[in-house]
Structure 1
Amino acid sequence: MPPHEGRYIIDGDVHVSPRYLASTTGTGDPALAPLLDLGWGVQHDDLGNAYVNAPDRKVRLGYLPEGEDDGLWRINAYEDPFGPPTWGACFNDRAPTEFVRAFTTALAAAYEQGPDAYLARPVSGIDEHDPFLAVVPLLKHGWEIDRPRWGVFAVQSPDGLAGMEFTTGALDPEAELTTRDARWQLWAGKSLDRADWYATASSDTPVALLSAVTQCVSDPAPLPRWRQDTYSYIKGMAQLTPILPPQPPAPTPLDLQRAVASRRPAALPAASVPRWSTASPSALPGPRR
């Protein structure tokens, strides 16, 4: 188990299914941990925002609860630390924390491999760098290709409450980093325009990072949440199942033997029988006839 997972356990009293309707946990620690465990530096401002930097300053993350918009998580990578970002990703303030953690965990692994991994540009038809691979986890878990639109490839969850879009053609690089007009957009809610949470990624975001998120999003396992913290729309659309307390483990044969032994009465001490010796007094004479 990675060291960060044992320190930040996401808890709750209900399981939310499907998991893309679970919304945020309200804490950033689980998603920050994979990068901090690598020794990345972190700074805080007076408002409570956190800024995480790779040692070479080529990858930066902002956790911005007091930011200018709803972009709570902003992650950028740079070929030149003083140049414009090579790629950027954003998760809004209601995106499930587990999805952000999937991204940062994959980013941490890519950073350890080097720039060829965390700056790898998607290239159609090139095995592990083919952009389509980011959609494969969704299709494997029952998501379907959405009705076609000009210049957009889209897939949708079976219930229609989540989707992912890939926009083709030329895009404005600056707009991709600062608006929702990005190459990739993943969302959940009643519709794309009324999404409760969303995540965006620009054109050159490595496919491995996107695939880590789509794999996590499409995982059929539910996510734990506190019932009082779930939003009203979730309660009407998602399935909430109470989390039962853990049951004690079944007794082993050895446990049963010990239990039986503990109930058995203790053995009585043996009766004391005087032993004959030369020091023993002689028997008294019996009465005379």
Structure 2
Amino acid sequence: MNDPDADIDGDVYVFPRYLAGSTYTGDPALEPLLALGWQLTDDDLGNVYVTAPDRKIRLGHLPEGGDDGLWRINAYEDRFGPPTWGVSFNDMCPTEFVTAFTTALASAYQAGPERYLARPNPADPELVAFNAIVPLINRGWKIQPRRWGVMELQTTDGMAGLEFATGRLDPEKELTTLQARWYLQGGPTSGYARWYATASTNTPISLVTAITESVSDPAPLPRWKDQMLRALRETAQLVPVTPPPPSVPTPLDVRRSAPRRAPALTTRSVPRWSTTTTPSAALPARRSVPRR
């Protein structure tokens, strides 16, 4: 009989998932693209690069990059021109969020440039962007008081949030800094456990929605407890994948749980009715009756 827990890569489930942290492996996020025949190369430092057949989408998994931007994905209308859009995830971002994005990207690539290069409607970009925000609202994220140029949502526990910048932004800064149109973040407010993801202005809304759907999904993520950062273990709710077996009962437990025996019958004197007259049962003498 197969063990349903055998294929789960972890010994605990983490709630909520935005406190799970990274799995420290990029393979699951690369698989949707490699399955389409995208080219994979690497360098002497261990950085990995994946390129679409038409050379219009490039992904870098950069553990030895110059900053904490572990994942960088850019798309191009002109393969020799500047990127049309860019998305990034840092090294603490749960790998499942990246995998959700690359899975949607693989689907969009198969549909053609009109999907993976689809720009938001310039007539009302904020209205179109709302489609990526809807999953967060439906799952209880709260819109925060409006700040100038920023629409912000947060989880009720304050441990994750999204910022959508309005107005005109610098295209170069969107691709090289955190000053992008979309900025998602989560984790404890202090320490190294905090993650982020960014997406620039022209990122197709369907791809951004894939990220927000995954981040807000109520399903937990499996992790190995000993591999989680302490700040995450102390903040998240952890539930064992396999419940611990019941403890072996002690002899005292056995005695306490054993059914009690009925008391043994013993011989004892029981008064019974008797036909023998005893002194204590003597009747008074009859009085004589005179004869007539």
Which position in structure 1 is the counterpart of 2:104? 106
Which position in structure 1 is the counterpart of 2:53? 55
Which position in structure 2 is the counterpart of 1:154? 152
Q: Give the counterpart letter for 1:79 in structure 2.
A: E
1:124-182 superposed Cα distances (whole Å, 9 cap, x missing partner): 7879x811111111111111101211110011011110000100111111110011010
Rg comparison, structure with higher value: 2
Unaligned runs of 5+ in 2: 1-6, 246-292
The answer to whether the 8 A contact 2:18-2:187 is kept is: no
The answer to whether the 8 A contact 2:104-2:207 is kept is: yes
Which position in structure 1 is the counterpart of 2:168? 170
Which of 125, 129, 133 is equivalent to 1:131?
129
Measure the CA separation in 2 of the matches of 1:186 and 1:29: 22
Measure the CA separation in 2 of the matches of 1:240 and 1:192: 20
Q: 1:233, CA displacement in angstroms?
A: 1.3
Measure the CA separation in 2 of the matches of 1:104 and 1:145: 27
Pair 1:172–1:195, CA change in 2 (3 A): farther
Pair 1:154–1:91, CA change in 2 (3 A): same
1:208 aligns to what SS in structure 2? helix
Measure the CA separation in 1 of the matches of 2:205 and 2:21: 24
> What is the aligned-residue identity percentage?
62
Q: 1:189, CA displacement in angstroms?
A: 2.5
Which position in structure 2 is the counterpart of 1:187? 185
Measure the CA separation in 2 of the matches of 1:193 and 1:144: 25
Q: 1:190, CA displacement in angstroms?
A: 3.9
Which of 27, 37, 60 is equivalent to 2:35?
37
Which position in structure 1 is the counterpart of 2:72? 74
1:66 aligns to what SS in structure 2? coil
Q: 1:236, CA displacement in angstroms?
A: 1.9
Unaligned runs of 5+ in 1: 1-8, 248-289
Measure the CA separation in 2 of the matches of 1:15 and 1:195: 17
Which position in structure 1 is the counterpart of 2:273? none
Pair 1:170–1:105, CA change in 2 (3 A): same
The answer to whether the 8 A contact 1:124-1:130 is kept is: no
Which position in structure 1 is the counterpart of 2:120? 122
What is the TM-score of this pair, normalised by structure 2? 0.78
The answer to whether the 8 A contact 1:168-1:183 is kept is: yes
Measure the CA separation in 2 of the matches of 1:43 and 1:63: 11
The answer to whether the 8 A contact 1:91-1:200 is kept is: yes
Pair 1:125–1:245, CA change in 2 (3 A): farther
Measure the CA separation in 1 of the matches of 2:78 and 2:189: 38
The answer to whether the 8 A contact 1:86-1:119 is kept is: yes
2:70 aligns to what SS in structure 1? strand
The answer to whether the 8 A contact 1:50-1:64 is kept is: yes
Q: 1:192, CA displacement in angstroms?
A: 10
The answer to whether the 8 A contact 2:186-2:196 is kept is: yes
Which of 82, 85, 91 is equivalent to 1:84?
82
What is the TM-score of this pair, normalised by structure 1? 0.78
2:137 aligns to what SS in structure 1? helix
The answer to whether the 8 A contact 2:23-2:94 is kept is: yes
Q: Give the counterpart letter for 1:106 in structure 2.
A: A
Q: Give the counterpart letter for 2:119 in structure 1.
A: R
Pair 1:109–1:193, CA change in 2 (3 A): same
Q: Give the counterpart letter for 1:27 in structure 2.
A: T
Q: Give the counterpart letter for 1:115 in structure 2.
A: P
Alignment RMSD: 2.2
The answer to whether the 8 A contact 1:124-1:131 is kept is: no
Which position in structure 2 is the counterpart of 1:218? 216
Which position in structure 2 is the counterpart of 1:197? 195
Structural mapping, 1:1-40, within 5 Å: 11-40=9-38
